[in-house]
Amino acid sequence: MTTVSDLNITAPEDCETMAQVREGVDALDRELVALIATRAKYMEAAARIKPNREVVRDEWRINDVISKVIAESERVGLSTSISEPVWRELVERSIAYEFTVWDKTRL
């Protein structure tokens, strides 16, 4: 996992200026975008592997992902009022992307 020291940014508790806060947020946003790009590649793999369009949306898996995110959020001290809605939206957008990829490769 990437740490604050890996990114060469000021730790949140050590920030003294808004410039330091913004630098940290911007660096973390770049890392998040890179991780989401990798996650999207897994959605492409899922679209390639799933045998039919009806199995693209998997309610059991959605609930599994969200419950794991909630547990991890609680473990690291992230408010679930942030993590749960963000991940629900991420999952929905990922499913929509997977449908798009599935359709492009099959239809």
**Predicted confidence band at 5 (pLDDT cuts at 50, 70, 90)?**
confident
Asked if pLDDT for residue 64 goes beyond 90, the answer is yes
Q: Which two tokens stand for residue 35?
A: 């991780």
What span, in angstroms and rounded, lies between the C-alpha atoms of 8 and 14? 13
Asked if pLDDT for residue 3 goes beyond 90, the answer is no
Question: For 77, which DSSP code?
Answer: T
Residues 78-96: tens digit of each pLDDT: 999 999 999 999 999 999 9
- Computed over every residue of the chain, the mean pLDDT equals 97
The residue among 26 and 3 whose pLDDT is bigger is 26
**Predicted confidence band at 107 (pLDDT cuts at 50, 70, 90)?**
confident
User: Residue 8: what pLDDT?
Assistant: 93
Residue ranges in the chain assigned as alpha helix (H): 4-7, 18-49, 59-76, 80-106
pLDDT above 70: percentage of residues in the chain: 100
Are 66 and 91 within 8 A, CB to CB?
yes
Please give the model's pTM, rounded to 2 decimal places: 0.91
User: Residue 59: what pLDDT?
Assistant: 98
